[in-house]
Amino acid sequence: METILNITNGDCAVKIMKEAGIPGKFLPWRDVLHDGPVPVGLTLVKLSEVRAQFIIDRGWGEPGEIKNSFADRDRELHSFRNYSKVILWFEHDLYDQLQLLQILDWFAENQPETTKLSIICTGQYLGMATPEQIIELIQYEDIVTEKHLVLAKKAWAAFRSPSPEEWQQLLHEDTSVLPFLDDAIFRLLEEYPDCKSGLSRTAQKALDIIAKGEKRPGKLFGKYQGTEEKRFMGDSSFWVILQQLLASNPALIKLPPGKQLTLPARPDQELSITSAGEKVLAGEWNWLDMLVPDRWIGGVHLTQENVWCWNPDSRVLKKRAS
C-alpha cells in the first residue's frame, strides 16, 4: 500500500486538501522566508532555530508553540523515508517558491532513494481553491528530477548569500525547470530599497494607496494585494512595513493623536500621509537618509554600511555608498 507525505505551504491548504480527500499525511511548511534572516552555513535544524526566534521576536505567536512547530516539522521531514512517496504541493508566488527551494535543496542533500519525490506547482492558490480544484491539480504531478534539485540547490545558496549578486545573476540563467522561479527572483529584488526613494515596492505601493485617500489599514492591505501579480505577503509582514513608515524620523505616515496600529486594526486607526511621505513618494527625498537600515532579505543584512538598492529602470541592484 502506498504511503504518502504531502508537504504544502500552510494550514489553509491542508484543510482544503483534507476536504478533497487527498490521501496521506500532511506537513504544512509554515515560514515567511521572504521576511527576516535566512543566513548561509546553517543546517535545517539550526536555521529553524534562527527562523523561530525571528518569528518570536516579531510577536507572531507564543514562543514555545513556535519552537515546537519548527521542531516537529523538521522531525517529520527527516522521517520521509518512512513513506513510499513525498508530494510537494506549492504555488507560483514568492512565498511558496522560497519554501520550495528550501525543501528541494534539503532533498538534494538527503537523496530520496526508494521514496518517490514529486511536485505539483501551478498558478492555483491552494488556500483559495475548492476541493474540486485541488483534485484537478493531481493531473499536474511531475517527478522531481536531478535538474530540479541542482537548480534549487544553486538558487537556495544564492538566496542565503550575504551578497545579493548571486540571486540577481539567476535572472540570466535557465530556470525553466522551475517555471515560476524567475518571477519570484525578480519580485524579491523589488523588495530592496529603491535607489531614488529608498522604498521597497511594497512600501511604495502602501504609501501610494494612502496618498490616494485609503485611510483604513484593512482596506489598504486589500488594495495592496490587488497590485501584486502573484500575491505573497501576509498581513503580519505588511503591518511591520506600516509600523516602519510610522516610526521613521520624520514619519512618512501618521495616525490620529494617541492611536496605535494594531492587528487587526480598529475603526479609529485612520492612516494619512505626511509631508515627508509625500516627498519620499515623489522621489524628492530618500527614505534611506531618514533611518538606520537593519533588515534582512535572505542572507543579506541591510545595514548602514551594507545597503543595496534597486534601480527599477535598469533592473539592476547596486551597492549604495555609505
What confidence tens digit (pLDDT) does each residue in 207-232 have? 999 999 999 999 999 999 999 999 99
Average pLDDT over residues 153-176: 97
Average pLDDT, the chain: 96
pLDDT surpasses 90 at 74: yes
Q: Span 194-292: which CATH code?
A: 1.10.10.10
| pLDDT on residue 287 | 96
Q: How many CB atoms lie within 10 A of CB 52?
A: 20
pTM of the model: 0.96
Average pLDDT over residues 257-275: 93
pLDDT surpasses 80 at 255: yes
DSSP letter string, 76-110:
HHHTGGGSSEEEEEE-SSHHHHHHHHHHHHHHHHS
Q: Which three cell numbers stand for residue 91?
A: 504555488
**Spans of all domains in the chain:** 4-163, 194-292
Asked, as a colleague might, if the bond just before 264 is cis with ω within 30 of 0, I would say yes
CA distance 160 to 301: 10
Q: Are 98 and 159 in contact (CB under 8 A)?
A: yes
Q: Which residues pair with 309 in a beta bridge?
A: 318
| pLDDT on residue 257 | 93
Q: Is residue 265 helix, strand or coil?
A: coil
Q: Which three cell numbers stand for residue 142?
A: 511531475
pLDDT surpasses 90 at 322: no
pLDDT surpasses 80 at 1: no
If pLDDT is split at 50, 70 and 90, which confidence band does 267 have? confident
Instruction: Give the CA angle between residues 155, 232, 241 to the nearest 5°.
Output: 105
Closest CA to 158 of 3, 312, 297, 45: 297
> What is the per-residue pLDDT across 33-68, written as a single tens digit (0 to 9) for each?
999 999 999 999 999 999 999 999 999 999 999 999
CA distance 161 to 163: 5
pLDDT surpasses 80 at 195: yes
If pLDDT is split at 50, 70 and 90, which confidence band does 292 have? confident
CATH topology for the 4-163 domain: Dna Topoisomerase Vi A Subunit; Chain: A, domain 2 (3.40.1360)
Closest CA to 306 of 295, 290, 291: 295
| pLDDT on residue 70 | 98
- Which residues, in sequence order, are CB contacts of 9 under 8 Å at separation 6+? 28, 29, 89, 90, 91, 95, 96, 99, 126, 127
Share of the chain above pLDDT 70, in %: 100
pLDDT surpasses 90 at 178: yes
Q: Are 39 and 19 in contact (CB under 8 A)?
A: no
If pLDDT is split at 50, 70 and 90, which confidence band does 112 have? confident
The amino acid that residue 53 corresponds to is: Q
Strands in 18-96 per DSSP E = 25-28, 36-37, 85-90
| pLDDT on residue 164 | 97
Higher pLDDT, 182 or 1: 182
The upper half-sphere exposure of residue 275, i.e. CA atoms within 13 Å in the direction of its Cβ, equals: 0
- The backbone torsions φ and ψ at residue 6, rounded to the nearest 5 degrees and listed phi first, read -100, 115
Average pLDDT over residues 238-264: 95
- Which residues, in sequence order, are CB contacts of 208 under 8 Å at separation 6+? 281
pLDDT surpasses 80 at 127: yes
If pLDDT is split at 50, 70 and 90, which confidence band does 113 have? confident
Q: Are 203 and 245 in contact (CB under 8 A)?
A: yes
Look at the block and give the residue holding cell 475548492.
130
| pLDDT on residue 321 | 80
